[in-house]
Structure 1
C-alpha cells in the first residue's frame, strides 16, 4: 500500500489530552481510503461484561458505503460502485437498513440507500494484516442489530465486518425485462439475485479495502447464520467470488441436497422460470406494465408481507437458480466440485428445523404429522425407529427425528463435499439454551456465544454462559485464523469423516454419535429415493 493510502495521524481529530504512540488504536487515526477519509471510534467506552481482554484497542467504523444507492434507476440492478466523499466522514453511527429487513421496526432508518458496512478492528497499525471475517445476518435482521456486534470477535485479533443487503422484492425480484437488461451487462439472460450480488459486492469491497483497517485481504472467512448461512454457502459456491475467501462458516445452513427441507428453509432457491412468472404477477398486482413503472413506485409499495424468508403470503421472494451467481444445483455443485476448495465449519442447533423445545402433542397429532412427511414404506420404518405411541413419548420422538435429520443431513453434505474437495468440513450440534427464554436451543441461539458479545444483549447471563461463550468464540476464532477450530485448552474437534459423529458444543464438548446407526442408515436410504436439489 502506498503512503497516500495509509492511515495517517490527524491531531485535530484526537480527543483532548489523548496521547498517541506507535501502537495507538486505530480510532486515534483518520483512515485514508480510496473513497475518502474516515474517523472511527472506540468500540467500548468502558469495560464490557464478559471475558474480553483487549477491548481498549478495538476501533469501530459504521455506515461505510460499499455500493451506491439501490433506489431509483438502480433498483433491481447489480450493486453500482460507491461514490467518494470530501472531508472526513464521521463513522460513529449505523446507516440506513434495507427495506424488508426488519419487519417494519421503527428502530432503524429504512431506505434504499442501504448498502453500507461496519468494521471492528483491534489493529494498532494499518500494516497489521489480521485475519478477517465477514458476517451475513439471518432473515428479518440488519447489520445494526446488537446481536451481530463484532467487538467480541475483534477481541480475538480478528477484523470483523458486517453489512446490509437487499431482501424481499428488492433483493430477489426476477422479470423478463430485468433479464434482458442483465444480459446486456453480463451475458447471462437471468435476473433475481440482487441480494446475492450485494453480498458478493460487500466481499469484494472488503478484499479491496480492508488493509486500510489492519486486515489481511488475502485471509477472509465468510460467516453467517440461517439466511446469512445461505449467503456464505453461495459465496462458497459461486464462480463470481473465486479467490476471495479462505474459509466458510455456515450456521444452520447446509444439509443433504436430497432433503426436501432444502426447498423451504433459508437456503432454498427457485428456478428462473418460477421466479420470472412471479415477477410478472407481482408487477401486475401493482398495476405496473413495465420495470420502468415499477422503478417509479414509492419504496413502501414494494414492501410486501411475503418479502422476506419466514413470511407467509402469495409472494415467495427468494434466490434464483440462474447458472450465473449460482453455478448449478447444490447436488451438482458438490459432486462436480464447483465450490471453492476451502475449509468449512457448519452445524445446527437442537431446537430448530422442525424441532420445538417444550413440545406437547398427542399421539394422534404425532401420527398425523409423520404421515404428512413420510409415505409408505418409509412411514412405518420411521415410526419404528422414532416410537411415539404414548402421550409421554410422542413429543420427544417427533423432536428427535427432526434433530437427527439435521445432524445426519449435515454429515451427508460433508460426505458429498469430500467427493471432489480436499479441505475438511467440521460439523457441530449446539444444545445450550440461553437464559431468560422458553425456546430451548432455538434457531439463532448460538450467535451471542459464537461472537462472544453477551454484553450487548439483555438476557440474564450467568457465569456458565460467559464460560460457554469463551469456548465457542475460541473455536470459531481459531477456524477463522487457521481453517481449523482446534487450539490450546479446547476439547479436540476432528473433521467430519466416515465415522458417524458430530462435535457436541454448548452443554457438553467433544465428539458424539449422530444418532443410532439404524437411524442414520434409514435417513440415508430415504434421501437416496428423493430428487436432489
Structure 2
C-alpha cells in the first residue's frame, strides 16, 4: 500500500475512534485539562447528543484577585504543570451572590466552565459565551450549558467580580491604572474580568472544538449589560461575531437607563464614592484596603440583599466604555455585528397579578409623568377600578420596555448595517406565581429544562425547542431564522427596521405590533424631552 494512503487511513481511523472530548487531555495555553461527561444518563427534553457532551469546570482564566491584585485589572493566570482535572466548580467571587451556603467563596474566583459535544479538537464549532445576571454564579443550574452543546454550540460561562471588588474607583487607583493602560481611570474591574474571559476563550477555545473566529457573547440583565459593554468596547474589537442582550437595552433617553442593569456613573462620581467607601472601612489608602479581610469588604459593599448606601456599578471611563450609550450609538462606536435583544412581559416595573388601587396607580403615574404628560399617559392608560388599574399599570411598563428597545434599534440602524432582532417573551413557566418574569426565558433559550426543578409540561419542551432553535441559528449564522433541530421551519423573525413590530415568542410566534400606534408615538415624544444617557 502507498505510504501516503496508509498514513491518511491511519489519520481517518484515529479521528473515527475519537468519540468524545472527555476522553482526551486538552492542551490550553496555561496547561492540560481533563473534562468529564456532562450527563450520566439520558435526560428529559430536547437532547439527542447528550452522550457526546463533555464539561470542564473551574478552569482559571486569570490569577487570584486577592491581596495586591485586589482593585486591579485581571492578571494572567499562572501556568500549571500537571493535568487539571476539571470536575468541580471553581470558587465564586465575593459579593456575587447572597446564597453563601452552597458555594466556595474567595477572591481566587476568575474561572470558567465549558460544555462541548465536539468529537474532535479541530471541529471548529460556533461558540457562545454567557454572562450571568446579578446575584448569580456560573455554577447556577439555570445556566447549565449542556442543552446548547447538544445542538452543536460550544458553551462557556464564567465568574467575574462584583460589588466593591468589581467596581471600586478611587483617584489613587486611577493614577495606578494610568501607568499600565494610559487611561487615568479606575473602577471597571468587573468589566475587564469579562473582557479577559472573552480573550481567554478566543485564545484557547479551539482546543475544545470551538471556532475562535466565531464567538457570540450573550447574557441576561446584569449579564446583558456585560454583553452590551463587549459589543461597544474597543478592547473587544475582532473578538465577537454577534451579541444577544436579554432584558437589557432601551432608548438612551429613558430614565430607567440610570437605574436598571445597564446603568453607569461618571468617573468623578465613582472616585468620590471610592473616597467615602475607604472612610467607611476605616482605612485611608488603597494599600490598607488591599490588606483587609475579604469579609470586611463584603459587608461594606453592595452585596445582593444588603442595605448599603454604596452603589457599585459600571464607570464611564472612556477606556473600557468608549462613550455614553447615546454617543456610542450615533457615532457608530459599537462593533458592527448582528444583535438579538428583547424583554419579558412581567419585568422592569410590570408585575404579574399585582394588587393595586386606582389611587395607588394615579400616585405612581404622577411620580413618573409630570405636567401635561400625566394627562397624555392617563388617556392612553386609563383606570377606574382595581382591575383596570392593574392592567393599565402593567401595560405602560411593558410598552415602555418594548418601545424603548425598538427605539434603541432605530438608533443602532443609523450607523450600523448589521441586523437587530427584537423579541417579546410572554410565557410563564409552571410552578411559580410571577408570570413571565425577569429571567423566565433562560431555561428555554438554553434548552436546559432538565436542570431546573419545575413541573415542566409538554408545552414547555415544545417552546424550549423553538426558542433554543432561534438562538442556536443566530449563534451559528447571525440570523435566527431557519429550521428547528427537528427540521421544521421556524416562524419568520423579521429584523427590526422602521416597522413598529417585535417578534412574539413564548405563548405565540411571529411579528406583532410593539403597541398601539398612539402609545408608541407618546413614548417617542416623551423620551425626546428627556436628557440622553
What TM-score, normalized by structure 1, do the two folds share?
Answer: 0.95
SS of 1:303's equivalent in the other structure is helix
Q: What is the match of residue 510 of structure 2?
A: 510
Question: 2 CA distance for matches of 1:450 and 1:187?
Answer: 40
Question: What is the CA–CA distance in structure 1 between the aligned matches of 2:222 and 2:387, rounded to whole Å?
Answer: 35
Residue ranges of structure 2 left out of the alignment (5+ in a row): 1-13, 484-488
From 243, 260, 268, give the equivalent of 2:255.
Answer: 260
d(CA) in 2 for partners of 1:47 and 1:183? Answer: 53
Residues in 2 aligned to 1:391 and 1:450: alpha-carbon distance in whole angstroms: 35
Aligned pairs for 1:69-468 (under 5 A) are: 69-304=64-299, 307-308=302-303, 312-468=307-463
CA–CA distance in 1 between the matches of 2:300 and 2:435? 28
Q: What's the CA shift string for 1:350-406, capped at 9, x where partnerless?
A: 000000000110000000000010101111000000011222200100000000000
Alpha carbons 1:309, 1:318 under 8 Å: kept:
no
Deviation digits for residues 320-359 of structure 1, max 9, x if unmatched?
0000000000000000000000000000000000000001
Task: Please state how far the C-alpha of 1:22 moved relative to its aligned partner.
Answer: 2.7
SS in 1 for 2:415: coil
Q: 1:308 to 1:253 in 2, by over 3 A?
A: farther
1:51: Cα distance to partner? Answer: 1.2
How far does the alpha carbon of each residue in 1:251-305 deviate from its partner, in whole angstroms, 9 at most, with x for none?
Answer: 0000000000000000100011111011000000111010000000000000136
Deviation at 1:37, TM superposition (A): 1.2
Runs of 4+ in 1 over 6 A off after TM superposition: none
Out of 21, 41, 63, the position equivalent to 1:68 is 63
Q: 1:94, 1:144 within 8 Å by CA — same for their partners in 2? A: yes
- 1:137/1:143 contact within 8 Å kept: yes
SS of the aligned residue for 2:374 comes to helix
- RMSD in angstroms over aligned alpha carbons? 1.1
Structure 2 distance, partners of 1:316, 1:281, is 12
Contact 1:20 1:28 in 2 (8 A): no
For residues 96 and 108 of structure 1, the distance between their equivalents in structure 2, rounded to whole angstroms, comes to 7
Q: Which residue of 2 aligns with 1:5?
A: none
Give the 3 Å change call, closer, same or farther, for CA 321–310 of structure 1 in structure 2.
farther
Task: Work out the CA distance in 1 between the residues paired with 2:392 and 2:496.
Answer: 26
Number of equivalences: 515
**Consecutive unaligned residues in structure 1, runs of 5 or more:** 1-18
